[in-house]
Amino acid sequence: MAVHHKIKQLYVNAYSGIRSEVWWLSLIMLINRSGAMVFPFMSIYLTHHLHFSALQAGWVLSSYGFGSMCGALTGGWLTDKYGSFRVQFISQFLSGIGWLLLSLVTQYHSLLILVFFQSLIADAFRPANNSSVTSFTDMTNRTKSFSLNRMAMNMGYTIGPAIGGVFATISYVWLFWGDGLSCIISSLFFLFIFRKHFFDKETVQKSKEESAPLSLSNPLKDPLFLTFIGSTILFGTVFFQLLFTLPVYYADVYKINEAHIGSLLAINGFFVFFTEMTFIYLVGNRVDHKRLMILGILVTGISFFMLNWIKHNAWIILAMIVISIGEILTMPFMQTYVANRAPKGGLGRYLAFYSFAYSVSLIVAPLIGMWTIKTYGYETLWHGCMVVAIITACLFYLIFQVDKKKEVITA
């Protein structure tokens, strides 16, 4: 009983100090991302059902990345102009309609165009959501609030593939409709909860007043930060093999159907959901975040490299747990690093560039991954992931060393 109470208190402490508005935003994120049923199965859908070549599938998936990149920038601009709450509602509602339309399109070039615009609309949500979370936080609870929001997203990505895998075994039409309807439902729920902020002109005006002039907070004038963004792109290229090539690997090598693939991907979400916040609470303030990030990058590379060691169903489960550990060690602290580095009034712009980095990764990851599979095979791809992870960890180490020297000089 004593152990039970200690565990309960641990979770209470880990989640304390977060405002109710952030909890609502996270709940809406959970509903929205629970509908993320299509994306984990897009590579299988394109190659096994529409019979596209691996290269064609890579281009369609990369068009999603191009749209995501444009969406991150467009969403940031629209947020400054019209307010984060309005952008989030419109993004969710229109992306829901977009998923419904995608269920009707099977022609290659039409898919390229529609997937691009679908991603652009859907990912305009991210900078707007980050801006909303930021508006309800201060320096004492910002990391926790970001982590809670990210965990809700992870839990959604856990539920989504699990449900989507079942839908895909019945019909991919069910998959697209499930995703579309969940986006529309979450947009209406969002409007109901935040209707006051949605129509409050003072909220929009306050956001504009708190935004610093571009000349005073331009990330393009911060070369070390731009190097950090470039290194994040490399990390994202490795990490996003989880979404693009790993499902195809499971299907081709282990002959696993969509339902089982969804269950495997769900392991990642469940593991992160139940451990990240407590890890941040127990370790986040005791260990240097920079060391954790470097370790996490290497662990992520190892998780893919492991796939070349042993061919067994239990082994791929272990590899999924390892990549989840790598994610916990890196992503929460990367976002905190960006937030801490941003000048006063420039947080939104710096976070937009951070989102932009992952959008670029969404372009690069499927192209490189699918091309490597077609040309050299899976074993070379997993070796390559380890090599890129080592290079990325070295880059992060050098960035942090230069950053540390600047801090000493400034002090």
Is residue 140 over pLDDT 60? yes
- Compare 163 and 365 and report the one with higher pLDDT: 365
- Alpha-carbon span 384 to 238, nearest angstrom: 9
- Compare 84 and 410 and report the one with higher pLDDT: 84
Answer whether 291's CB lies under 8 Å from 396's CB.
no
Task: Provide the sign of the torsion angle of the four alpha carbons 271, 238, 175, 114, taken in this order.
Answer: positive
- For the segment 50-58, the average pLDDT, to the nearest whole number, is 84
- For the segment 201-227, the average pLDDT, to the nearest whole number, is 65
- For the segment 376-397, the average pLDDT, to the nearest whole number, is 97
> Which CATH topology does 18-410 take?
Growth Hormone; Chain: A; (1.20.1250)
Is residue 338 over pLDDT 60? yes
Nearest partner of 356 among 188, 217, 228, judged by Cα: 228
- Alpha-carbon span 405 to 411, nearest angstrom: 10
Task: Provide the sign of the torsion angle of the four alpha carbons 367, 331, 76, 175, taken in this order.
Answer: positive
Is residue 222 over pLDDT 90? no
**Whole-number pLDDT of residue 14:** 66
Nearest partner of 263 among 159, 396, 361, judged by Cα: 159
Single-letter amino acid, residue 146: F
The percent of residues above 90 in pLDDT, for the chain, comes to 27
Is residue 236 over pLDDT 80? yes
Nearest partner of 324 among 256, 232, 246, 223, judged by Cα: 246
**Whole-number pLDDT of residue 2:** 62
Among 5-19, 106-120, 167-181, name the one with the lowest average pLDDT. 5-19
- For the segment 65-94, the average pLDDT, to the nearest whole number, is 82
Nearest partner of 119 among 49, 168, 179, judged by Cα: 179
**Whole-number pLDDT of residue 303:** 97
* Average confidence score pLDDT of the chain: 82
Is residue 77 over pLDDT 50? yes
- For the segment 76-100, the average pLDDT, to the nearest whole number, is 84
- Per-residue b/e over 303-325, b at no fewer than 16 CB within 10 Å? bbbbbeeeeeeeebeebbebbbb
Answer whether 175's CB lies under 8 Å from 168's CB.
yes
Answer whether 31's CB lies under 8 Å from 248's CB.
no
Nearest partner of 48 among 266, 182, 247, 205, judged by Cα: 247
- Compare 396 and 260 and report the one with higher pLDDT: 396
| Owner of token pair 């900078």 | 127
- For the segment 319-344, the average pLDDT, to the nearest whole number, is 87
The percent of residues above 70 in pLDDT, for the chain, comes to 85
Single-letter amino acid, residue 270: F
pLDDT band at 305 (very low <50, low <70, confident <90, very high): very high
If residue 124 lies in a helix (H) or strand (E), which one and from where to where? Answer: none
Q: Which tens digits make up the pLDDT trace of 149-192?
A: 877 877 776 677 777 777 877 888 888 888 888 889 888 988 88
Instruction: Specify the long-range contacts of residues 275-278, CB closer than 8 Å, at least 24 apart.
Output: 275/324, 275/328, 276/147, 276/150, 276/151, 276/154, 276/328, 276/332, 277/11, 277/14, 277/15, 277/144, 277/147, 277/148, 277/151, 278/10, 278/11, 278/14
- For the segment 351-356, the average pLDDT, to the nearest whole number, is 82
- Taking each continuous run of H as one helix and of E as one strand, the counts in the chain are 19, 0
User: Of the spans 81-95, 136-150, 153-167, 386-400, which averages the highest pLDDT?
Assistant: 386-400
User: Of the spans 6-15, 82-91, 92-101, 386-395, which averages the highest pLDDT?
Assistant: 386-395
Question: What contacts 355, CB < 8 A, 6 or more positions away?
Answer: 72, 123, 126, 127, 130
Is residue 318 over pLDDT 50? yes
**Whole-number pLDDT of residue 396:** 97
Lookup: tokens for 363: 């372009």
**Whole-number pLDDT of residue 411:** 43
- Compare 249 and 149 and report the one with higher pLDDT: 249
